[in-house]
Structure 1
Amino acid sequence: MIIHEVTEKNFEEERKKGEAVVQKKFDAWDKLGKVNISIDEFKAKAAYLMRDPTIWAYATLKDKQNKQLESYYFQDKIMNDRHRFIHCTAANQIGKTWGAGIIKGAHHALHVNNASVMLISRSEGQAKGILDEIKWMFKRAKIDYTPFEDEITNRLEYHIKSPDGIGTSAIRVFPPTLAILSFPATLVIKDETGFWESKTCTMNPIAYYQQCVEPRTNATKNWKHPFLTMGQIVSITNPNGQDGLAWWLRNNPEFHNYTYNWLANPNNTLEEYKAKEKSLPAIRFASVYAATYLLASGGFIDLTQYERFKSYNCPLVIKPGYTMFLGGDFASEEPKSKGTDWTVLYGIIPIKNIDFPQNPRLRVVYRKEFAPKTK
Structure 2
Amino acid sequence: MNTHPIEVIAQQSRLAARRLAAAPEAMRNLALAKMADALESVKTQVLKMNALEIIKARDEGQAEAMVKRLTIDDKTFSYMLSRLKKVAQLPDPLDRILTGHTNPNGLRVYKKSVPLGVIGIIYESRPNVTTDAAGVCIKSGNAVILRGGSEALLTNTLLTDAMIAGAVDAGLPEHAIQIIRAPGHEAVGELLKMDDYIDVLIPRGGKSLIKRIAEGTRIPVIKHYDGICHLYIAADANPEQAVAIAVNSKCQSVQVCNALETLLVDSQCAARLLPLLQTAFGLNNIELRGCAETQKLLPGLAPAAEDDWHTEYLAPILSVKIVDGIEEAITHINRYGSGHTDGIATQSLNMARQFEQQVDSASVMINASTRLSGGGDYGLGSVVGISTDKLHVRGPVGPDELTTYKWVAYGDGHLRC
Query: TM-score by structure 2 length?
Result: 0.25
Q: What TM-score results when the alignment is normalised by the length of structure 1?
A: 0.27
- Which has a greater percent of helix? 2
Choose 1 or 2 for highest CA Rg: 1
